[in-house]
Amino acid sequence: MLRNKLDALSAQALSEISQASTSEALELVRISYLGKKGSLSEVLKGLGEVPAAERPAIGALANESKRKIESALENQKSLLEEKELSQKLSKEKIDPTLPARSLHRGSLHPVTQVTRKLLQVFGRLGFEVTTGPEVETEFLNFEAVNIPKDHPARDMQDTFFMGPGVVLRTHTSAVQMRVLRSQSWPVRILCPGAVYRCDQDATHLPMFHQVEGLWVDQGVKMSDLKGTLEFFAKEVFGPGTKIRLRPSYFPFVEPGAEVDVSCFQCANGTSSGSGKKTGSCRICKDTGWLEILGAGMVHPRLFELAGKNYELPNSLGKKVTGFAFGMGVERIAMLLHQIPDLRLMTAGDTRFLGQF
Ligand code: DAH
């Protein structure tokens, strides 16, 4: 009786196994026969009622049925897996011609870009790069460039003091004396770097960047300064750019000047700017000029402080003189890219920085 049941059951199982067309269906078949409450288990529960003499034979038969079912399951399983894999492969194609996902590339900060441009432009005129420390002596930052003790620039409100006699340099002019002391003429250096002032709003940062230039040689004249700056202006702001010098006062130069470049955006400037003739120019406010830097002829007092007696005519007859200039890098970057708020420069927002 039980023997027949077992035979029928295993025949039924094998047929269901061969008909299972997915792994999931096969698993259900497995559970329905071999699971704890599966048909085979149920049948085997009846083994107790079989006469003891027949039990070993029936037991062996039951094991045999179980083994057959298990091996059929195993076979069908690998068949189905193979089938499913090949179906998947034929459906899911890899298209090697699709564009790759683009990598996020970093970009150079506008301050870095402008600094590099300045170094390159002045480099073509023979200026070599020099650097100086950002933590500077009060002497080199002030006295050495002829800024006396009672000068308002020394006020605690403008200057970060690190300790007695030590400041964060407030301008790159602080390198002038270092260079004048350590080198004899000819000197033609450019010093880029960070400078610090106690100041912060939409147009001022407590830390910003300047580039300082110093040229000392025999017979250097104001016209050399002008020619040098004109070259720089055309290279940086466009070939049509003009410059103008307005007399101004800086303690370390005499005479001193503030230097403007013609607006490169609007027709009010004398450049071949692409802007319109009418309406207000957002860059120059219709003045046609942009203030860019300070400059002048090196004050004789600086040579004196450096211990150089350049005042006397040398053997070749021409006096050794010099000119200096200093400019703010952020300001130039803002003008060139029409950046509305200086604080964007330090915000580190890649959506802003990625545009340059
Ligand atoms: N040091 C000045 C400043 O920070 C800029 C400057 C003006 C530099 C005139 C110079 C110069 O070398 O000749 O505002």
Q: Indicate whether 310 pLDDT > 70.
A: yes
Q: Tell me the pTM.
A: 0.70
- Mean predicted confidence (pLDDT) in 324-342: 92
pLDDT range class, residue 279, cuts 50, 70, 90? low
Is the shortest distance between the CB of 14 and ligand 1 below 6 Å?
no
- Give the per-residue pLDDT at 316: 66
Least confident of 37-51, 121-135, 162-176, 336-350: 37-51
The residue among 106 and 1 whose pLDDT is bigger is 106
Q: Indicate whether 276 pLDDT > 60.
A: no
- Give the per-residue pLDDT at 148: 85
Is the shortest distance between the CB of 212 and ligand 1 below 6 Å?
yes
The residue among 268 and 330 whose pLDDT is bigger is 330
Q: Indicate whether 157 pLDDT > 80.
A: no
| Candidate of 252, 291, 331 to mutate for ligand 1, largest count of ligand atoms within 8 Å of Cβ | 252
Q: Indicate whether 16 pLDDT > 50.
A: yes
- Give the per-residue pLDDT at 275: 47
In words, the CATH class of domain 110-353 is: alpha beta
Report the nearest-CA residue for atom 4 of ligand 1. Answer: 171
Is the shortest distance between the CB of 302 and ligand 1 below 6 Å?
no
Is the shortest distance between the CB of 171 and ligand 1 below 6 Å?
yes
Q: Indicate whether 273 pLDDT > 70.
A: no
- Mean predicted confidence (pLDDT) in 255-268: 88
- Give the per-residue pLDDT at 167: 94
SS (H, E, C) the chain: CHHHHHHHHHHHHHHHHHHCCCHHHHHHHHHHHHCCCCHHHHHHHHHHHCCCCCHHHHHHHHHHHHHHHHHHHHHHHHHHHHHHHHHHHHHCCCCCCCCCCCCCCCCCCHHHHHHHHHHHHHHCCCCEECCCCCEEEHHHHCHHHCCCCCCHHHCCCCCCEEECCEEECCCCCHHHHHHHHHCCCCEEEEEEEEEECCCCECCECCEEEEEEEEEEEECCCHHHHHHHHHHHHHHHHCCCCCEEEEEECCCCEEEEEEEEEECCCCCCCCCCCCCCCCCCCCCCCCCCEEEEEEEEEECHHHHHHCCCCCCCCCCCCCCEEEEEEEEEHHHHHHHHHCCCCCCHHHHCCHHHHCCC
